[in-house]
Structure formats: C-alpha cells, structure tokens
C-alpha cells in the first residue's frame, strides 16, 4: 500500500509540473500512462505482395561456375550453362620426343549447391564455335546470353559428388583427338596457334559446360578452371610424366546462362520484362528466387490512413515480419540464409538496400528457422526509418479514379550480391489472407497526443 501511495504522489507532482507544457516524449526512455498521450501498436496495415519478373541480370565475372539443373515444383525447370575461354601455357621448346597421355578439364567446387546430392550430375563439354567478344558498348554478359557451339562433344560424364565433404573437384576426360592436336602444335615451332593468347583464342574459341534433363542438382564451382594436358617424355631410366595447364582467360568472358521453363507452374504467365502478378492471383502468395528471374515486391497501400487517426502524432518504430508459407521449404528447397530489402518505385528497378539502425550494413532479415513445427520461422526487419520517410513523402501515393490509393514506392526482396546471381535457395511468402502465423506483417508503434 505504501508503495502505491509513493507512486501516486510521484505522478501527481509530475503532471502538476507539466500541465502547462506540451509533453515531449522520447520513446524507449519514458513510460507513459495518462489520458493525453498513448503509444499504440498496430499490425493490421495491408502489406501488398506481388511477384515481379526480372528480365535479365549480369552473370559474368562472378567467380562462380554453375553446373547442372533441377526441377522445382513451384519455380519450374531450371538449367544452367557456363561459357568461358582459356589461356594457353607459356610456350617453351621442350616437347620433342613427347607422347600424349590425356586431356582433362578440372573444376573445383566451392561447396555451394542446390538440389539432390544423392543423384549423379551429368556434364557435357563442347567447344564454342565463335570467339567470346562483347557486343559494342556492352561490358557484361547476362543470364540470357549464349554462344553457338559445335555439335560434337569433346567430353562428358556422370559424377556423384558430395559438395560439403569428400569431393573438392571434378575431373572430366576430354577428347584424345583434341589433346593430340594440341600437343602436336606444341611440338611444331612453326605453328603459332599456341604461342600466345590471341592466336590461341582464334584457334580455340572456348568451352561451354551444360547438362541434361536428368539432372536434379545445381553445383557451384569456382572459376579456377584448368584444362590439363598430360604427356610423357623419355628420361634417363624411364618415361617421365609432365603436364601443362590451360587456365581461365578473361574473367569477364566467364559467365552463366540460366534457362527456366515455368510452363507447368503457377508462374507460367510471368514471362516478359514488365510482368508483375499480385499475390491474390497466386493463391495469396508471392515468389522470390532472383537467380531464376523472379522477386517479391512489397508495398503498403493503406499506410497513409495512419495520418487520419485521431490525435496521431508520429511513428515511433516499425517492424516488418516476412514469413514463408508452411510446406514450401525443407532441407531440399531450403530458404535463403539472408535477404535484403531494396527500395524501388513503379518501375521496379532496384535502389539502395535498407540498412540496420545505427550502421551502414544492409539488413539481412535475421532468419530464424523453427525446426519443430515451422510456426515461428521468419525474417524480421527494422523498417522504422523507411516507414517514417514513406508516410511523409507527398510523392509516395497517387489516387485512381475511384480515389483508391496506389503506392508508388515499395521494397524488393532479394539476396545480397553475388549470391543473388548464383544461388537458387528461394522463398514463397504469404499475404494478409494467409493464416496468421504465415503472413507478412507490418507492425507499427505510433504516438497519439490529445490536446490538453
């Protein structure tokens, strides 16, 4: 009882001192409980979701070689090809009396993958029939780019790999005929094809790696690619084995082509540069997998209604909670470990990533995965600064003929670069019509101050 009397006396003195002043609130440092000032928390604002088509994106110079393909029940059949050219070894006159042994292409894994590692991956190797060169005023190759190849394989194989342990490289046997031709050219000092890079690229344009429809796995390898020619040479007592390496040429000529067939999925109609499908047309879902050409856009069309709330003063904080739909992810279709929120407008072009409060680091969602029943799996973001700026921006909203607000600004959900260009983890998220535990929610804490 004495404690309650003391607290009552404290508040009586406090309000007597401030009765003639406007209350100045610093949220988080003061606790308020009076009839004039209230902190209200609300999570019923509409978060409008849509799936946006990505026309193309650069894949050259990423340092990642994509191999294989797989079928995703939600995103479609995805197949990759990798193109690159090679540099010849430094020319030396040491190849007299040599004998060809083998020619192999060696690819080094970087431990990233997506799909079923219990199944072998099929890899085909073909020679490119046209030199890899940029078109005029273009300085990158994109996911949609490709080069013609000769029909005959120079190498092929099926490989069972364990990308997280045991397997650190893949070695593909190449054509003996090609290997012997290369060694013969090295033996002949008047043959200039292998004596410098320019000559070699006119003779050997480069290589294309591809797979087939049986693949259920996409592997990521580094760009430390080696075509190794092994030969024997007589020594004092026996034949000595030697090798020379043809290494990756121009890193900007090393790029990945990514082909997607969505014809048997809910995304079959998203196929051109300005395609955008609202979640209400996709069973109240939105899709995001940047490497296959789709990303989620989030807008807040009813946010401006907050300004109409009686005695509204200001936004104190805002949190965005992004929740994957139950049953759309598992150990096979796993979630992206981090996702950035990137600003955008009506054009759907990417702006800057939202940063964590008090730092310049992009927010990554702080993914929490509930392995028990999935109810609490979510990405969470502090979007306070973004929402505060959005609600006061006079250009943020336009009105249609029926006076309904249309949000001009929004956020795109994308993995950080370069993972966005080379990783196939994905997320399917739910809008406000999904069950409560599986919907995207914007929670705002705001202040109301009644006049005294």
pLDDT reading at 84 higher than 60: yes
Is 202 in the same domain as 88?
yes
> What does the pLDDT average to over 384-399?
81
pLDDT class of 347 with cuts at 50, 70, 90: confident
Q: What is the pLDDT of residues 281-326, one digit of tens each?
A: 999 999 999 999 999 999 998 888 898 899 999 999 999 999 999 8
Q: Is residue 431 part of a domain?
A: yes
Looking at 261, 294, 311, the residue that finishes a domain is 261
Q: Is residue 383 part of a domain?
A: yes
Is 39 in the same domain as 77?
no
Looking at 240, 261, 282, the residue that finishes a domain is 261
Q: What is the pLDDT of residues 172-215, one digit of tens each?
A: 999 999 999 999 999 998 999 999 999 999 999 999 999 999 99
Is 207 in the same domain as 340?
no
Q: Is residue 12 part of a domain?
A: no
Cα torsion through 29, 32, 38, 43, rounded to 10: 50
Nearest to 409 by CA among 353, 342, 351, 344: 344
Q: Is residue 444 part of a domain?
A: yes
Sequence-separated (6 or more) residues with CB below 8 Å from residue 287: 51, 74, 75, 267, 294, 296, 426, 427, 428
- Alpha carbon distance 194, 176 (integer Å): 18
User: How many residues in the chain?
Assistant: 452
Is 279 in the same domain as 315?
yes
Is 98 in the same domain as 220?
yes
Looking at 233, 261, 289, the residue that finishes a domain is 261
CB 271 within 8 A of CB 261: no
Q: Is residue 359 part of a domain?
A: yes
- Alpha carbon distance 223, 160 (integer Å): 21
Is 441 in the same domain as 373?
yes
Half-sphere exposure for 93 (CA within 13 Å, toward CB): 5
> Across all residues in the chain, what is the average pLDDT?
87
pLDDT class of 407 with cuts at 50, 70, 90: low
Is 257 in the same domain as 289?
no
CB 114 within 8 A of CB 218: yes
The more confidently predicted of residues 387 and 28 is 387
Q: Is residue 15 part of a domain?
A: no
Q: Is residue 211 part of a domain?
A: yes
Is 113 in the same domain as 245?
yes
Find out whether the peptide bond into 418 is cis, omega within 30 degrees of 0: yes
Nearest to 143 by CA among 344, 424, 426: 424
Is 49 in the same domain as 113?
no
Is 429 in the same domain as 309?
yes
- 409 lies in which domain range? 22-53+272-449
- Alpha carbon distance 272, 397 (integer Å): 26
Q: Is residue 58 part of a domain?
A: no
- Alpha carbon distance 330, 336 (integer Å): 12
Q: Which residue intervals of 73-193 are DSSP H helices? A: 176-187
Structural domains counted in the chain: 2
- Alpha carbon distance 82, 67 (integer Å): 7
Is 433 in the same domain as 306?
yes
Is 45 in the same domain as 74?
no
CB 117 within 8 A of CB 162: yes
């Amino acid at each position: 009882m004495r404690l309650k009397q003391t607290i009552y006396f404290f508040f009586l003195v406090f309000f007597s001192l401030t009765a003639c002043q406007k209350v100045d609130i610093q949220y988080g440092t003061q606790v308020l409980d009076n009839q004039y000032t209230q902190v209200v928390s609300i999570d019923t604002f509409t978060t409008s979701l849509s799936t946006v088509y990505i026309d193309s994106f650069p894949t050259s110079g990423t340092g990642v070689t994509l191999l294989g393909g797989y079928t995703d029940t939600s995103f479609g059949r995805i197949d990759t090809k990798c193109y690159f050219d090679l540099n010849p070894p430094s020319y030396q006159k040491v190849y007299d009396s040599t004998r060809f042994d083998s020619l192999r292409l060696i690819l080094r894994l970087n431990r990233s993958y997506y799909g079923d590692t219990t199944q072998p991956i099929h890899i085909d190797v073909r020679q490119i029939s046209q030199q890899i060169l940029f078109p005029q005023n273009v300085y990158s190759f994109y996911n949609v780019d490709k080069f013609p190849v000769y029909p005959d394989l120079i190498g092929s194989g099926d490989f069972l790999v364990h990308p997280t342990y045991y397997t650190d490289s893949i070695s593909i046997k190449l054509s003996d005929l090609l290997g012997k031709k290369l060694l013969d050219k090295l033996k002949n000092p008047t043959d200039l094809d292998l004596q410098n890079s320019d000559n070699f690229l006119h003779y050997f344009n480069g290589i294309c790696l591809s797979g087939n429809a049986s693949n259920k796995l996409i592997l990521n390898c580094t760009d430390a690619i080696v075509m190794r020619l092994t030969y024997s040479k007589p020594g004092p007592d026996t034949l000595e084995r030697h090798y020379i390496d043809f290494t990756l040429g121009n890193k900007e000529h090393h790029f990945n082509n990514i082909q997607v067939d969505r014809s048997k999925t809910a995304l079959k109609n998203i196929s051109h540069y300005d395609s955008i499908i609202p979640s209400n047309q996709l069973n109240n879902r939105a899709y995001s997998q940047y490497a296959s050409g789709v990303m989620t856009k989030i807008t807040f069309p009813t946010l401006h209604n907050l300004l109409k709330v009686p005695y509204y003063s200001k936004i104190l904080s805002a949190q965005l909670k992004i929740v994957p739909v139950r049953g759309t992810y598992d150990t096979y279709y796993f979630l992206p470990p981090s996702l950035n929120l990137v600003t955008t407008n009506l054009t759907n072009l990417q702006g800057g990533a939202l940063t964590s409060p008090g730092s310049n680091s992009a927010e990554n969602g702080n993914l929490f995965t509930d392995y028990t029943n999935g109810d609490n799996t979510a990405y969470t973001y502090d979007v306070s600064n973004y929402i505060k700026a959005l609600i006061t921006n006079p250009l943020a909203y336009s009105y249609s003929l029926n006076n309904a607000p249309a949000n001009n600004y929004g956020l795109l959900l994308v993995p950080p670069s370069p993972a966005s260009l080379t990783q196939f983890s994905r997320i399917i998220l739910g809008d406000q019509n999904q069950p409560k535990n599986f919907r995207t929610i914007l929670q705002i804490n705001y202040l109301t101050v009644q006049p005294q």
